[in-house]
Structure 1
């Protein structure tokens, strides 16, 4: 964490809200966030320390997704099935599709390749390995919440 990552917010103290005091700001520089942090949110001590994210048994991977291969309603936090179609995009032509369920962690629509987004997914370790090792085009299917 760098000094530019931090700002002081003035709030009314509440014993139920455990925040980091502004007087400790210098102590935070150089520390590692243990979880993803949201800009503008209050910082608590439990968010700092050794990396605790992704959770044990989970992995985070990025997959390139071409235009038209993901629903327009796709957003951070969406539950999806990721299906990697064999090279050529047709099931059965070069092997079976590889499928896994995941949660969208981030979407980078400006991935440097026109018509392609990079979607960061969190999913179980074994599924992440299978998806990352699959060759072909990724298709995301939006799943109902819950």
Structure 2
């Protein structure tokens, strides 16, 4: 029977298997999936950075969640690795700050009667001041407020 491996791409498949096997051996992976700690070691970044990028949706490698564990299929990692893409570009993007942290650090301008005496207060202080003013106004109007 004639050798048809060239016709069906057998040579390319063998090379791909060799690449995957070599990378798996280098990473110490014994299955089809890479866990985040192994991936972090391979990429040279922390596990925390990977998890943060996944939460932001900016992690460049396709990943899966299996229960509580995030894994990357070995073939997907090899495919990404072969593109020569850099994870560093994604890691340096500005992080999105959670809503609660934004509210606490956000500063609002309060315009007093004299603009040159403009005072800055955080959104937390602003909310507390508004709350006090509303309570005081309700008491002036005869409402029983604690």
TM-score by length of 1: 0.23
Structure richer in strand, relative to its length: 1
Larger radius of gyration: 2
Structure scoring higher RCO (CA < 8 A, sep ≥ 6) equals 1
**The structure with more helix, counted as a fraction of residues:** 2
Q: What's the TM-score, normalizing by structure 2?
A: 0.23
